[in-house]
Amino acid sequence: MKKYILGLLLLLAGISLSLHAQGNDEIFAKFSSAFDLFKKENFQKAGSEFALLYETWSESSLASDSCFMAAQSYFNAGDYPTSYLYCVQFIQNYSDHPNIPDMKFQLGRIFFKTGRFKDAIIAFDDFLKAYPGSPLFASALFWKAESYYQLGDIARSFPLFNELKEKWPDSDKASLVSWRLNVMGLEAREAKFSRLMAYETEKAAQMEIGGMQKEALQEQQYIRVYYLLKTLRVRNELPGSSKLPLYVQYTPQNAPEVDSNLKSRLNKLNVLLEAKKRILELLLAKIDAYMREISP
């Protein structure tokens, strides 16, 4: 900012000599008053006075400088739409002015400040092609890279930041470049960690569901065996059931010949199958609750 103010002071000194030579003391006095407001960082008021000066004396030799200062003042005040208007007017009306590169650079900054990152990239790219020797070249390259970053296009922003770091290590944007590269490195590691965590979580969930499905299938097999044996027991109690195998032909009344040990084992199997059935019902309820929980 200090370098910029110094440049404007030199501009003001040149304007002063020119206007005094022409006898335009009133115009110079108004311009000086607006410039004092600019130096005091009362940018909104300075912008208003420069704009009024530009519109009132549009045919004077001071009109281009008033338009330029109005664009700068409104930009510093954060009034980007108004700054844009004077910036465009300056570029259109004073295409041969020595401050055209500054205005084109500022146009890109206005686009960036208002979130029009694609337009900012175009503006900075045009500036870089038109003014490769400009003192603002490194800054324009930085804001182009930053615009890509804001769009999430890391593949294009990262090489530009690296180019800045290697070719312009002493530019006024060097510290910002280092900071941005560090942030991008942290974000890349965080994204990688998040992907690994998501993968492990999904893998664990799939393994858990697979295990639960396997247990459910086993429990269903137990239940099928249980109901088969139960059906066979019912059939044993009907007439003509003597053709069934010995191990399913038993009741306390009609199968005294069945070995007591076999009876005991079959009774235990019935108890086990009843327990398995209850366990399966609980397991199925758990699976159903889990699926509802993870459903989007």
Q: What is the DSSP letter of 131?
A: -
**Average pLDDT of the chain, as a whole number:** 77
Spatial separation of the C-alpha atoms in residues 175 and 178, rounded to whole Å: 5
Spatial separation of the C-alpha atoms in residues 161 and 142, rounded to whole Å: 7
Predicted confidence (pLDDT) at residue 16 exceeds the cutoff of 50: no
Spatial separation of the C-alpha atoms in residues 262 and 282, rounded to whole Å: 30
Residue 191 has, within 13 A of its CA and on its CB side, a CA count of 7
pLDDT of residue 58: 80
Amino acid at 248: V
156-208 pLDDT, tens per residue? 999 999 999 999 988 888 888 888 888 888 877 776 666 666 666 666 666 76
**Between vectors from CA 260 to CA 254 and to CA 261, what angle results, nearest 5°?**
140
pLDDT of residue 280: 74
pLDDT of residue 260: 62
Higher pLDDT pick, 72 / 277: 72
Contact 15, 28 (CB under 8 A): yes
- Place 253 in a pLDDT band, splitting at 50, 70 and 90: very low
Contact 90, 68 (CB under 8 A): yes
Tokens standing for residue 154: 């890391």
Indicate the pTM of the whole model.
0.61
Residue 18 has, within 13 A of its CA and on its CB side, a CA count of 11
CATH number for the domain whose boundaries are 2-189:
1.25.40.10
Average confidence (pLDDT) over 128-139: 94
For residue 249, CA distances in Å to 23, 69, 234, 255, 269 come to 130, 108, 10, 6, 15
Amino acid at 234: V
Residue extents of the structural domains in the chain: 2-189, 205-294
Maximum C-alpha span of the chain: 137
